[in-house]
Copies of this chain bind each other. A is one copy, B any other.
Amino acid sequence: MSDAIKRWPCDHKLSDMVAHGGLLYLSGQVAENLAANTKGQTAEVLGMIDRLLTNAGSHKSKLLSASIFIPEMRDKPQIDEAWLAWADPQSLPARAVMEARLGSVDTRVEIICVATQ
């Protein structure tokens, strides 16, 4: 594993993902289709995480931890439904769910995660 830092550009403020020492640090991912409900947005976000991990030669089975923020804790069952349809049952990451309002009022979920490359 190298000491080099590799960054996947997103915009002028942040990188979508940063790799260092065999670890991948992902920016908080939010859905683009904000008309979708919480379950739909979660499924879209998990797909975005899949694509980022694939871009780095990684995979959801290599997730170490995930922090999930949702503006309404009562939506947690919708999060879990999308999560269970997606997660690799043999390779579940550490996880935490907290209630927090997000960048737009229609954003129903944001997920930050760390994976190994």
Contact = CB atoms under 8 A, between A and B. Distances in A.
Contacts of A13: 80, 83-84, 87, 92, 95
B3 A94 contact: no
A99 B96 contact: no
A89 interface: yes
A84 B12 contact: yes
Contacts of A101: 73, 98-99
A95 B14 contact: yes
Contact of A7 (B12, B15, B92, B98): B92
Nearest to A24: B94
Interface in A7-26: 7, 9-10, 12-18, 20-23, 25-26
Contacts of A100: 69, 98-100
A93 interface: yes
A20 to B, nearest CB: 5
B28 A92 contact: no
A94 B16 contact: yes
29 contacts: A3-B22, A5-B64, A7-B91, A10-B92, A12-B89, A13-B84, A13-B95, A14-B93, A14-B94, A15-B92, A15-B95, A16-B94, A18-B93, A25-B114, A26-B94, A27-B65, A27-B96, A28-B67, A65-B112, A67-B112, A69-B98, A73-B102, A96-B110, A97-B102, A98-B98, A98-B100, A98-B102, A99-B101, A99-B102
